[in-house]
Amino acid sequence: MVAVVVIAIDIAVKQWTTSTIAGGEPVKLLGGLIYVIYTRNSGAAFSMLSDYTWIFPIIATVVVAALIWMVRSTASMAWTVALGLILGGALGNLVDRIFRAPKPLHGHVVDMFSFLDDHGGHFPVFNVADSALTVGVALAVLLEFTGRRRDGTRAKKDEQDEHA
């Protein structure tokens, strides 16, 4: 359910950005803390590997399959939320890779949020899917470090010390 909500919000915000902001002026929010702009990213995070757009749908498909397998066997609500955020983020950007220009499986991801600058000058521009991925991974790391397992149990103190 978390993944479905993330995908729905991501698609809606990307659609709004594409139809409203593209070709227009950035929208200033919170006194300039955040700007909503329109940009497209052919690469991965920070525009890395932008000449290898075709590889991202393959990687994302493998990640999505692994996440679906993991979520099915997860009994912990916290882990379900973390994996749902990661899954929703991966699927949100995969949708762009498959269906957006320039062509199927080479699509560029729509990004729109820029901190402190109207053109991404201080921090990379990102989207809802990227945010969900980041929060989901941070939550998963926190759960792992605190000994919470996907089956709903907690690691014993000595098992946690071995991982530290």
Q: Which residues are catalytic?
A: 111, 130
What does the alpha-carbon distance between residue 77 and residue 143 come to, in Å, rounded to a whole number? 11
Q: What angle (nearest 5°) sits at the alpha carbon of residue 67, between those of residues 65 and 73? A: 110
Question: Number of C-alpha atoms within 13 angstroms, CB side, residue 56?
Answer: 27
CB within 8 Å of 94: residues ≥ 6 apart: 57, 60, 61, 64
- Is-cis flag, bond preceding 26, omega within 30? no
In three-state secondary structure terms, 154 is: strand
**Cβ neighbour number for residue 54 with a 10 Å cutoff:** 11
Helix (H) or strand (E) holding 146: none
Question: Number of C-alpha atoms within 13 angstroms, CB side, residue 4?
Answer: 1
